[in-house]
Amino acid sequence: MTTYIVRRLIAMPLLLLGVITVAFLLTYFTAADPLTSIIGERQMNNPAVVEAARERWGLDRSLPERYLIYLGNLVTGDMGTSFRTRQPVAQDLMVRLPATLELVIAAMFLGTIFGVVLGVLAARFRDGPIDNIARLFALVGASAPVFWSGLLVLFIFSVQLGWLPGPGRIDTRAVAPPFVTGFYTVDALLAGDWAGFRSVLLHLVLPASVLGWTVTGIVSRMVRASMLDVLSQEYILAARAKGAGPLRVLIHHALRNAMLPTLTILGFSFAYLITGAILTETIFSWPGIGSYAVAAARGLDHPAIVGVTIVGGAAFLISNLLTDIAYALVDPRVKLSQQESS
């Protein structure tokens, strides 16, 4: 296990370099001329402007040159300048990253809790009606396009019922809390702004639920399978022989053990959440990386596309690695083999 993690750690930078290279090459071999999106269609007939822009954005250099320059800049945290916002891409991303993280974490939280509850119930009442309903709920969540279910819940809970606020991170009349972490929930609390905190939390409910629903299915199926596995173990019988009640047996003894294999798929669900976040942010006007990516792709904003793709790939790689490490930390059996071999 340890050697496995070490191997993964060594492979990480290489994979990251691969990701960067692929992302960079993709925009180099683009069919559309990026100049069009920089200077606009009308200016394309003006050779002076074209030439100036070409030089300004370094489009006149050869591929290896541009690649090396990009890599060099990347090391210093420079991802180039967005054609669209005219801001450094790295800065754009930094500003937007907390919004996405806040959404994804909230979704992960909701999705995991619901998934675990559903999975435990499905295993406890195996093959009964609850099991089937849990399965249906999970499958619908994995099958519904978030860009439609998001619209639907907005229409129902915001427009029709008026229970929850519409799109955005905070009430449009409210002022965003002063920037500390970029997480509105945390910043509002730090500023002692309770009304703001409430508004932020309420704004999170719909997008996080819609997004979290997509991973409920993955989590609940996994929890169900490993719960069934664990419940047939002798230590479960041993716990009952101690006089432990059904709830204690189910949660304290079975679920704890069943969560181990479940951990391994949290990284996998993160992939779902990134995919979903891009679309969910678009629906909910969420000023995060997802909506930035969509805008960049629509506007053929190549520096921004490369930047987003690299950040997304890095997040993906890191989450998979963290999952492995978390697995090693939680299971005392793995912990021991680490101590022994180190």
Window 17-76: residues binding other proteins (CB under 8 A): 18-19, 21-23, 26-27, 29-32
Residue 285 in contact with other proteins, rule: CB under 8 A: no
Size of the site for other proteins (CB under 8 A): 80
Residue 169 in contact with other proteins, rule: CB under 8 A: no
Residue with tokens 């296990």: 1
DSSP secondary structure letters along 138-171? HHHHHHS-HHHHHHHHIIIIIIIS--S--SSSS-
Q: Which of 248, 265, 287, 324 binds other proteins (CB under 8 A)?
A: 248
Residue 110 in contact with other proteins, rule: CB under 8 A: no
Q: What's the rounded Cα separation, in Å, for the pair 160 and 260?
A: 42
Q: Smallest distance from the beta carbon of 180 to other proteins, in angstroms?
A: 28
Q: What's the rounded Cα separation, in Å, for the pair 308 and 292?
A: 8
Residue 329 in contact with other proteins, rule: CB under 8 A: no
Q: At what angle do helices 302-330 and 256-283 cross, to 10 degrees?
A: 170
Nearer to other proteins, 177 or 290 (CB): 290
Residue 241 in contact with other proteins, rule: CB under 8 A: yes
Q: Smallest distance from the beta carbon of 115 to other proteins, in angstroms?
A: 15
Residue 308 in contact with other proteins, rule: CB under 8 A: yes
Residue with tokens 């619908």: 140
Residue 338 in contact with other proteins, rule: CB under 8 A: no
Window of 58-66, 73-81, 113-121, 303-311 that interacts with other proteins by CB under 8 A: 303-311
Q: What's the rounded Cα separation, in Å, for the pair 104 and 129?
A: 31
- Tell me how far CA of residue 282 lies from CA of 167, 288, 290, 304, 315, in angstroms: 10, 9, 7, 17, 20
Q: Which residues contact 268 (CB under 8 A, 6 or more apart)?
A: 218, 323
Q: Which of residues 138-157 bind other proteins (CB under 8 A)?
A: 139-140, 142-145, 147-149, 151-152, 154-155
Residue 263 in contact with other proteins, rule: CB under 8 A: no
Q: Which of 10, 161, 332, 341 binds other proteins (CB under 8 A)?
A: 332
Residue 179 in contact with other proteins, rule: CB under 8 A: no
Which among 301, 270, 328 is positioned nearest to 100, based on CA atoms?
270
Can you name the residues that pair with 81 across neighbouring β-strands?
Answer: 88
Q: Which residues contact 36 (CB under 8 A, 6 or more apart)?
A: 44, 300
Residue 7 in contact with other proteins, rule: CB under 8 A: no
Nearer to other proteins, 189 or 228 (CB): 228
Start-end of H helices in the chain: 2-28, 34-39, 47-56, 63-75, 89-124, 129-143, 146-153, 184-190, 194-231, 234-241, 246-248, 256-283, 289-298, 302-330, 332-341
Instruction: Decide: 318 and 328 in contact? Cβ < 8 Å.
Output: no
Residue 13 in contact with other proteins, rule: CB under 8 A: no
Q: Which of residues 190-229 bind other proteins (CB under 8 A)?
A: 221, 224-225, 228-229
Window of 52-60, 62-70, 72-80, 290-298 that interacts with other proteins by CB under 8 A: 290-298
Q: Which of 245, 251, 322, 325 binds other proteins (CB under 8 A)?
A: 245
Q: Which residues contact 322 (CB under 8 A, 6 or more apart)?
A: 267
Nearer to other proteins, 185 or 319 (CB): 319
Residue 1 in contact with other proteins, rule: CB under 8 A: no
Residue 94 in contact with other proteins, rule: CB under 8 A: no
Window of 65-73, 185-193, 197-205, 269-277 that interacts with other proteins by CB under 8 A: 269-277
* Cα angle 98-100-101, degrees, rounded to a multiple of 5: 60
Residue 243 in contact with other proteins, rule: CB under 8 A: yes
Nearer to other proteins, 113 or 238 (CB): 238
Q: What's the rounded Cα separation, in Å, for the pair 30 and 24?
A: 10
Q: Which of 208, 219, 293, 328 binds other proteins (CB under 8 A)?
A: 293
Which among 120, 329, 88 is positioned nearest to 228, based on CA atoms?
120
